[in-house]
Amino acid sequence: MTSEIEIKRGLQGVYIDRSKSSFIDGTAGKLLYRGYSIHDLAEKSSFEEIAYLLLYGELPNKTQLKDFDSNLRSSRSIPAEVIEIIRVVKDSHPMDVLRTAVSALSAFDNEVADNSVEATIRKGIRLTAQAPTIVTAHARIKEGKDPVSPNSNLNQAANFLYMLFGEEPTEQEARLMEKDFVIHAEHGINASAFAARVAASTNSDLHSAVVSGIGTLKGPAHGGAAEEVMAMALDIGEEEKAESYVRNILDGGGRIMGFGHRVYKVEDPRARHLQTECQALGDQKGQPKWFRILSKVAEVMEPYQSRGICPNVDFWAGAMYHLMGIPKELFICIFAMGRIPGWTAQVTEQFSNNILLRPLLLYDGPMDLPYVPLDDRK
């Protein structure tokens, strides 16, 4: 009987449900949010528009966007008790702090147990607004500084940079961070979205689902490549050393971070939107070498594209964050902050047509062993 069972390790290629949140065609390099091309959205929409689109299923008109943006801006503060929790765990990894603080926020949300679509969306808006406040408060506390209060005059991306550095970002920096939030906002049933859906399938709450997503995203196999790509670039140091560095790693059987994707077998459609911006920011900051180093790495890796190993979204992101002065341990938190609207959309879909997500494991151990009393065991 067991020989007839097909095991899909990693659930690769398995469809668990239908979704209207996003569409991915890995062979064509195509990504849609609610039917709209990521190329249009990345270049033409604000993060606030994208969050609205994912949560409500359509792009907002001017009045809807104004109200939604106002709601986000007014929801950024976090309770003093959560700030104290951040102080207690300040020496932890930023993703651990984010996970812990989001969990703590559930104690202060009077809708925590309401799993209606309407309440779940309202909680998703609040968590989207509060996540940057958590991340920046921790970053500053860890450096011995006081947290910076949110600035209601700034949009989501600019406010994050303001709370992190204590001064308003340039227009270019704010635009780049916003674009980064947009391209990270949703990506189908990846590992973290699956974890969030599993939590939701038990009829748990959104906070629990987001905590599950954050904990899963922390794993380097899912969300940590941007940090490792920048570490590689720093290790290379100069453009002239890039080719030999890459070939030495490949000859030793190693991997070049920032290449390859579980779904995409061609160019990750999100990557191009950070590539040109990374170059422009490097020129503006007087540090063009990071773009040149990564460009040389990409050039050396070109022959592997025929095997489906292409630059992914993280390849250019790390250099962009580095150029903005963002500490490398926060790179993955940026991913998480942008993804909360996507997780919320996935959870609302799960709640709307729920079934407990409970796959099977094929037992591969001994059967019907005789029990041996403790005194008789060797």
120 contact partners, CB below 8 Å, separation of at least 6: 114, 206, 344, 347, 348, 351
Give 30: exposed, middle or buried? Use CB within 10 Å, 0-12, 13-18, 19+.
middle
Q: Which of 187, 207, 261, 322 is catalytic?
A: 261
* Distance of alpha carbon 281 from alpha carbon 298, whole angstroms: 19
- Among residues 70, 78, 47, which one has the least CA distance to residue 149? 78
Phi and psi torsions of 167, nearest 5°: -145, 155
Give the strand order in the sheet containing 36-37. Answer: 22-25, 30-33, 36-37
How many other CB atoms are there within 10 angstroms of residue 56's CB atom?
A: 15
* Distance of alpha carbon 297 from alpha carbon 245, whole angstroms: 9
Contact status, residue 338 vs residue 185, Cβ threshold 8 Å: yes
* Distance of alpha carbon 353 from alpha carbon 72, whole angstroms: 27
* Distance of alpha carbon 279 from alpha carbon 63, whole angstroms: 36
The alpha-carbon radius of gyration of the chain (Å, integer) is 22
Residue whose tokens read 């900051």: 285
For the record, the structure tokens of 138 come out as 């921790």
For the record, the structure tokens of 208 come out as 């629990």
Q: Which of 69, 207, 314, 322 is catalytic?
A: 314
Q: Which of 25, 39, 93, 222 is catalytic?
A: 222
Decide if 314 is catalytic: yes
Q: Which residues are catalytic?
A: 222, 261, 314
